[in-house]
Chains A and B, each alone.
Chain A
Amino acid sequence: MSDTALDPFADNPNKRTALVQGGLNFGQVTEKVCSVIEGKTSKIWWMCLGVSLSLLSVLGISIGYLIWEGVGIWGVNNPVGWGWAIVNFVFWVGIGHAGTLISAILFLLRQNWRTGVNRFAEAMTLMAVACAGIFPGVHIGRVWAAYWMFPLPNQMGLWPNFRSPLLWDMFAVSTYATVSLLFWYVGLIPDLATARDRAKSKIAKIAYGICALGWTGANRHWQSYERAYATLAALATPLVLSVHTIVSFDFAVANLPGWHTTIFPPYFVAGAVFSGFAMVISLLVPIRKIFNLEEIITVRHLENMNKIILATGTMVGYAYGMEFFIAWYSGVELEVFAFVNRAFGEPFGWAYWIMVTCNVISPQLFWFKKIRTSLVAMFIISIFVNIGMWFERFVITMTLHRDFMPSSWGEYHPTFWDVSIFVGSWGLFLTLLLLFLRFVPMVAIAEVKIVMPEADPHHGEEH
């Protein structure tokens, strides 16, 4: 069957082209994906690595100075005790959620198109969670006492408070990071075996060989493997929802106007998925081009993700509106004030409108098929969404500057070190991303083969 006779975007699945385009067979799929990790290291890669390592050193210096001098180098003070650190933490955790959504929820929903992008999205989850983990780690001031967050008694036999959302957060994020890593690694095992079997150099053979654990592709192994994979998907699905719910509890459990609302958990989860998919689009649009993977990560994959961005963006917009309505409907003066101040007041009213423009208005353009399938348009909109979602967390956190009593109102001004640690966290993200692209198969080779029509043992048989 030729690609031209069928429409890759047809609404009727029977009239659609295959997920893998260009008539590739199993061997060519392996070849295409593996050529990325086997070819000569390109100059562009070295240049990108140089830039990201410089950013990473900015992170190192910022954290070093922070530990040396203390959190006083940041702009946080009463009443704004939470500044960019929590904004950046929520921003990065949220980005991670797209990976789990693609790998777990779309797996359970039998969305076969996920196979083209799940490996990359899961890797992005791990990198984003690594970036997120830095902020709660360093914001406590005395980092050498970070183990106080663990469930251990102190010298008086006093245990951490298990009723605190911050402790829940510690459990949720560390479980999430561990399970995401395991899920990603389990998915990788067969592809590491592919890399092992193709490796030319001795070092590569040994390194991939050890990581592949001696995988042979035996059917008895596949049997347990598939069961483990499906169970992990089923475990990761409630996990990912719980993680951002608990992140939202960090705010929602506090008795503060503008934070103490029941809409926070679903609103945060939708926002997290929204921002994560935007990040996948921002990264995959250039990467599929650079590494010549356009037949495996097709425009149909991207279009599907844009549809999810549209859906979750609309949910986020609904949440913004509903928050405002409930604030008014509650009749609580301070609640109304907090929201009106957020949108129209001093000093951060402008941030609210950046948030609304980027998160509510820009994704609505995805209603048009032309825009949903245009690489340039989706790239620009995804950048807008990333900016908007950072500002969403900024707007929520900055509610703090108008305290209960006007006499305790304050201002917040980020300092150089607030900015440098955020910029530096991009260095960590990009460095890990580049290492991943160079050394690990960025498309799940075995999984892509499963969704090809030839993989069906009854392919071509008459029923």
Chain B
Amino acid sequence: MAKEEKIHGIVSEFKTPKEIYHAAETFRDAGFKKFEVYTPFPIHGMDEAMGLKATILPWIILACGITGMTIGICLSTWSSSETWLFGIEGGYKMIISGKPDSFEGIYEFIPVIFETTILLSAFGAVFGMIGLNGLPKLYHPLFTHDSFAKVSDDGFFLCVESDDPLYNEAKIKELFEKAGGENVNQITE
């Protein structure tokens, strides 16, 4: 391409989970923030090794779960009552075996409330995870790397991104060498 390409970062390949784990520690201790580890499976303790904060996903799931519960409660109590909360006109009062309706009869609505809570929490977990991860995103600069296909098999990669304030090619290459990284490459966007 004729126009100048932006550099994404420098990537290096490691052979084992152990090597990549210690490499991540090396970069964390050197003060790097914008670096990422790519592995075929999650590595135990990697979040600490990279110095990452906890994900906010549980809060998203909680919010979705509360929403689901509220929908379940409103749907079942409102639709079966004559006058709902705050004098709002209800759906259609249905007397079945003389049982109480609306909030007095809420015990029999618990299965429905439970299911809507679970359903929306699950949506929160899955779509929250996909959203937080910025997926679907079918292109990634690293896909242009020759051996990056191994990341879903048995390759372990560490990439230091060019927008890290400490980004310095020579320094990074030196750290890769120290940590035992092979196949050091510069990747463009």
**Chain B binds chain A:** yes
Q: Which listed residue, B36, B115, B118, touches A219 by the CB 8 Å rule?
A: B36
Is the Cβ of A455 less than 8 Å from the Cβ of B79? Answer: no
A227 to B92, alpha carbons, bound, how many Å? Answer: 42
* Known contacts A179-B119, A210-B138, A214-B140; is-contact A194 B153 (Cβ 8 Å): yes
Chain B residues with CB under 8 A of A167: 112
Is the Cβ of A217 less than 8 Å from the Cβ of B151? Answer: yes
Is the Cβ of B80 less than 8 Å from the Cβ of A162? Answer: yes
A163 to B142, alpha carbons, bound, how many Å? Answer: 55
| The stretch of A38-46, A232-240, A411-419 that contacts the partner chain | A232-240
Q: How many A-B residue pairs have CB under 8 A?
A: 216
For the complex, count residues of B whose C-beta is within 8 A of A.
69
For the complex, is A35 an interface residue (Cβ under 8 Å from B)?
A: no
Is the Cβ of A228 less than 8 Å from the Cβ of B126? Answer: yes
Chain A residues with CB under 8 A of B119: 175, 178-179
Can you list 12 pairs linking A and B with CB atoms under 8 Å apart? A159-B92, A182-B126, A197-B149, A198-B153, A217-B152, A222-B43, A223-B42, A223-B52, A231-B125, A454-B16, A457-B20, A459-B18
Is the Cβ of B42 less than 8 Å from the Cβ of A226? Answer: yes
Is the Cβ of A449 less than 8 Å from the Cβ of B40? Answer: yes
What string of 1s and 0s marks CB contacts (under 8 Å) between B135-171 and chain A?
1111110110000011111100000000000000000
Is the Cβ of A27 less than 8 Å from the Cβ of B154? Answer: yes
Which residues does B use to contact A, with CB under 8 Å?
Answer: 16-18, 20-22, 24, 36-47, 49-50, 52, 55, 57-58, 61, 75-76, 79-80, 91-92, 94, 96, 99, 105, 108-109, 111-112, 114-116, 118-119, 121-123, 125-126, 128-130, 132-133, 135-140, 142-143, 149-154
Is the Cβ of A242 less than 8 Å from the Cβ of B115? Answer: yes
The A23-48 residues at the B interface (CB cut-off 8 A) are: 25-27, 30
Known: A215-B152, A457-B46. 6 other contacts (CB 8 A): A162-B79, A168-B115, A224-B55, A224-B129, A231-B61, A459-B17
A168 to B108, alpha carbons, bound, how many Å? Answer: 9
Is the Cβ of B118 less than 8 Å from the Cβ of A213? Answer: no
A344 to B4, alpha carbons, bound, how many Å? Answer: 87
For the complex, count residues of A whose C-beta is within 8 A of B.
69
Chain A residues with CB under 8 A of B40: 26, 30, 190, 194, 217, 446, 449
Is the Cβ of A220 less than 8 Å from the Cβ of B133? Answer: yes
Is the Cβ of B17 less than 8 Å from the Cβ of A213? Answer: no
What string of 1s and 0s marks CB contacts (under 8 Å) between A319-356 and chain B?
00000000000000000000000000000000000000
Is the Cβ of B38 less than 8 Å from the Cβ of A217? Answer: yes
A227 to B43, alpha carbons, bound, how many Å? Answer: 13
For the complex, is A110 an interface residue (Cβ under 8 Å from B)?
A: no
Chain A, Cβ-Cβ closest to B50: A219
For the complex, is A246 an interface residue (Cβ under 8 Å from B)?
A: yes
Residue among A182, A228, A458 having the largest count of chain B Cβ atoms under 10 Å = A228
* Known contacts A151-B79, A219-B39, A220-B52; is-contact A225 B133 (Cβ 8 Å): yes
Is the Cβ of A235 less than 8 Å from the Cβ of B94? Answer: no
A151 to B92, alpha carbons, bound, how many Å? Answer: 13
Chain B residues with CB under 8 A of A370: none
What string of 1s and 0s marks CB contacts (under 8 Å) between A76-97 and chain B?
0000000000000000000000
Chain A residues with CB under 8 A of B49: 457
